[in-house]
Structure 1
Amino acid sequence: MNLRLLEIFRAVMQSHTTLGAARVLQISQPAVSTAIRQLEAQLGLALFDRRANRLVARDEAKILYEQSDSIFLMLHTLSQTAEELKENRYGHVRVVATPQLGHTVLPIAIQDLLAQRPNVKVFFDVRRSYTVVEKVESGAADLGLAIALEPELSSSVQMIPIASIGMVCVMRDTHPLSQASVLRPAQLAEHALIGLEMGSRLGPLVRGAFKSEQTPYRVNVEVRYSETACLLAKAGAGIAIVDTFSALAHAQPGSDLKIIPFQPDIRLDTWAILAKHRTASRLTMALVDSIQQCTRQFLDQAVSRHLLT
């Protein structure tokens, strides 16, 4: 059965005249009459009585109209789904991120994505950087977010820049060094330090900065995550040298933490990573756009609130 003919038939049933159906469908009245004759010929069944140039629906037409409701409801639903896919309002995206991003800008970006897309579902996980890369490469995640990745990874994954940030010192606002404009290894050497383990991506970078200035790197507490280091700094256990994202997550206005730039400058590039040989969905790329925008806003707000210089 031809769906277009069935659509014209339903318009006639709803409008009660061929002229009304023609207006609804924006076609000519003769085209409507021809379609009805074609449908009747296909069915081998008369659907209307012709009386004084009018079509009067038979019982068979009424039954066909009622039974075709489910078909057109399904087609309408399918059309809406196609439109939502086109506008990135339907589907799902699997994203995995390191804590620095997963606990700061990514929740904001996900909320921004979902605000206009109530039918979208996000699968969100927070892992260490090597697991982030592994999940993207294996196809277990559509999108990964991490910082300080090796440039050589671009041979196996697609890397999209998000931001470039530095490392900072975080301490209680009552700490003797809390009023410094910048802190270098020599100034930190005589104070309790909270360090990141050497198995992390950032720990060796901090150790390298101390070595370059010929200053011993001695830590009182060693931790795996920057977030843990910030919590210890907030408790007064010492000074933590962490990435800017983690620092901002804890040193918001009204907190008792202070952020001081660390020198020598350690640049940390932030990346969104995608599988190299798999086309990313429109929804995934929409989330990448949202992450880029939310990251800029997050960092700009930190500057305007005098949390960063």
Structure 2
Amino acid sequence: MPAAAPSLPSSGASMPAAAPITHRHIEVFRAVMTAGSVTGAAQLLFTSQPTVSRELARLESLLGYTLFDRAPGRLRPTHRALALFDEVQRAYQGLDQVVARAQALGRAEDEGLRVLTLPALAHALLPAASADWLGAHPQAQLTLTPQESPLLEEWMAAQRFDIGLSEVTGAVPGTHSETLAELDEVCVLPASHPLLARQVLAPLDFEGERFVSLSAEDPYRRQFDAIFGNAGVHRRLQVETHSAIAVCSLVEQGLGIALVNPLTARACAGPGLHIRPFSVSVPFRIQALRPLHRPAHALTDDFIAAVKRALAPAIADQIGKKKRR
């Protein structure tokens, strides 16, 4: 009987897969391109010249084209080799960044600290605290993001930041709060104002005075209005603004007197802006919020300690003035 013809693979049968190009092939190619010779590549890779030559030839076989024109004692890369080398270099640069990031994650100072804060504190408190903290951790990375309430508290509840600095006294879901300071709101007056003759201002002193107000929705504005309303004091409400920094700037221009938080007042005080205590205590509280469900940054405690140190002069100043009354 005639011999049976060899059977062909069915259409569903898989063909043998081509041998893959490995990282080792690319490593050898990069070494040859970097050193300019097989001998130099072997030295870079701590291997033998025959091994480098074999791996390079294998890479060319897998690619289906030559990467080098060979002449006695030298290799000259083709235009394809140059194009491939550009791509390989970009890949290795990306790998270097990954390695650097992986190493940085093991060092607390290279891990970025994200702080969410009220704008007033970003202006009046955090510059000094940040300088203190970065002085102790010069390689540390710091991001300060100003935000008003209630978005500040919502973002902290969402675990988006390592630390939040707020004025809220109630609980914020998903956070632990710590009171850093409780100060009193203060009066600010422009230079040469007659009321500067008084060491402490009472509500009745504001009768008929031009008053720079915070915006109507501000909770401190509502407290101030209630105090003056209960005392039967009528102020001239001509200018209002949303920020304590703007209030101080307007007062400095002689557009009225005002009540603001003591940190902003201290930061803005100078020849054109003066501070006096207010006889009625309007608490200004500073709360540190820490997320409960976000991995704790290794330097969080150090940063909060720096904030406390930055608060110390304002706390001491108010204590001293209360004792002198």
Task: Tell me the TM-score range normalised by the shorter chain.
Answer: 0.5 to 0.7
Q: Which one-letter code corresponds to 1:157 in the other structure?
A: T
Residue 158 of structure 1 aligns to a residue whose secondary structure is strand
Deviation at 1:100, TM superposition (A): 2.1
Structure 1: gaps of 5 or more residues: 1-59, 65-76
Alignment equivalent of 1:121, drawn from 118, 141, 154: 141
Separation in structure 2 between the aligned mates of residue 257 and residue 82 of structure 1, nearest angstrom? 46
Deviation at 1:84, TM superposition (A): 3.3
Residue 130, structure 1, aligned to residue 150, structure 2: yes
Residue 181 of structure 1 aligns to a residue whose secondary structure is coil
Which residues in structure 2 correspond to 1:129-208 (within 5 Å)?
Answer: 129-147=149-167, 149-151=168-170, 153-208=171-226
Q: Is the 8 A contact 1:142 1:274 kept in 2?
A: yes
Q: Which one-letter code corresponds to 2:311 in the other structure?
A: T
Deviations 1:38-81 (A, max 9, x none): xxxxxxxxxxxxxxxxxxxxxx9x948xxxxxxxxxxxx89985
Separation in structure 2 between the aligned mates of residue 275 and residue 258 of structure 1, nearest angstrom? 38
Partner in structure 1 of residue 107 of structure 2? 84
Partner in structure 2 of residue 284 of structure 1? 300
Structure 2: gaps of 5 or more residues: 1-42, 48-99
Please give the root-mean-square deviation of Cα atoms over the aligned residues, in Å. Answer: 3.2
Residue 225, structure 1, aligned to residue 243, structure 2: yes
Separation in structure 2 between the aligned mates of residue 210 and residue 301 of structure 1, nearest angstrom? 26
Deviation at 1:161, TM superposition (A): 1.1
Q: Is the 8 A contact 1:143 1:274 kept in 2?
A: yes
Deviations 1:247-293 (A, max 9, x none): 111114xx222101112111111111122443532222221111112
Q: Which one-letter code corresponds to 2:307 in the other structure?
A: I
Deviations 1:169-221 (A, max 9, x none): 11112001112111122110211000111212321121122133233454121
Residue 219 of structure 1 aligns to a residue whose secondary structure is strand
Q: Which one-letter code corresponds to 1:161 in the other structure?
A: T
Q: Which one-letter code corresponds to 2:279 in the other structure?
A: Q
Which residues in structure 2 correspond to 1:207-218 (within 5 Å)?
Answer: 207-216=225-234, 218=236
Deviation at 1:93, TM superposition (A): 1.0
Separation in structure 2 between the aligned mates of residue 212 and residue 225 of structure 1, nearest angstrom? 25
Q: Is the 8 A contact 1:156 1:275 kept in 2?
A: yes
Deviations 1:1-30 (A, max 9, x none): xxxxxxxxxxxxxxxxxxxxxxxxxxxxxx
Q: Is the 8 A contact 1:97 1:129 kept in 2?
A: no
Partner in structure 2 of residue 98 of structure 1? 118
Structure with greater Cα Rg = 2
Partner in structure 2 of residue 274 of structure 1? 290
- Which segment drifts farther, 116-125 or 164-173? 116-125
Separation in structure 2 between the aligned mates of residue 138 and residue 82 of structure 1, nearest angstrom? 23
Partner in structure 2 of residue 110 of structure 1? 130
Deviation at 1:114, TM superposition (A): 1.4
Q: Which runs of 4+ in 1 moved over 4 A?
A: 77-83, 301-305
Q: Is the 8 A contact 1:211 1:217 kept in 2?
A: no
Residue 238 of structure 1 aligns to a residue whose secondary structure is coil
Residue 120 of structure 1 aligns to a residue whose secondary structure is coil
Q: Which one-letter code corresponds to 1:117 in the other structure?
A: H
Query: Relative to 1, partners in 2 of residues 1:78 and 1:233: Cα closer, same or farther, differing over 3 Å?
Result: closer
Separation in structure 2 between the aligned mates of residue 145 and residue 122 of structure 1, nearest angstrom? 15
Residue 295, structure 1, aligned to residue 311, structure 2: yes
Separation in structure 1 between the aligned mates of residue 115 and residue 319 of structure 2, nearest angstrom? 28
Query: Relative to 1, partners in 2 of residues 1:274 and 1:171: Cα closer, same or farther, differing over 3 Å?
Result: same
Query: Relative to 1, partners in 2 of residues 1:235 and 1:79: Cα closer, same or farther, differing over 3 Å?
Result: closer
